[in-house]
Structure 1
Amino acid sequence: MKINECLQFQLKQEEINLDKEAFEITQRIMEKVQQRSNAKSGQNELSSQYLRASDYQGRQLFQSNEIEIRRQSEKVTKGPSQQMRRKEEDFFLSLKSGKTRSLKD
């Protein structure tokens, strides 16, 4: 009888230990889940701070106008620089041939 009591006591002791371990494991899992959900909610808060695509439409229009302005300014700057190159080429050709002309021509 004492042997039976000892065996039953051991079984109960093992069940208690298993319950404690299971409780600890579930607590660790719940902590990790909570940490991940906190991290995801933090990411959601950050993403809500960024502007939507519709908020960028005004800026996109500005950029397209800016591109046109750049193209127009490139046309303006290309013109004189190409003329200057031609004059320089003419000047160097005239130097080679022995005739000199001014760059202002």
Structure 2
Amino acid sequence: PSDGWYASTSDSAPWVTGILASGTKKFNYIHFKGTDDSMKTFSEVEIFTTQDGTTWTSQGVLPTSYFNKEGSVVVRFLSPIEAKGIKIAAVTPSGISGYFGIGELTFYAEN
């Protein structure tokens, strides 16, 4: 909780991933914490999953406005997704100067 991840201000397409060392899990949701106003440089983020750690499948695009005004956000998948990892990528620059950062990121799985 005391650490954070921030992209360089010159990075036009920042992303962060969580990859399992082996196997896959059925991911249910992602919990973002401490993101207060730290995603204002981009107006949307896209969530991806991977089965192999190389090929990524989009699970949808979310507006960052909600992340920026809340201190804690849960993003649920409609049904559990079998995956080796999850990637959160910033998309659609907002035109506002600042940074892209995530204070705490937790992936939840049922197995």
Is TM (by shorter chain) over 0.5?
no
Give the helix-richer structure, 1 or 2: 1
Compare CA radii of gyration and give the structure with the larger one: 1
Give the TM-score, by structure 1 length.
0.12
Give the TM-score, by structure 2 length.
0.11
Give the strand-richer structure, 1 or 2: 2
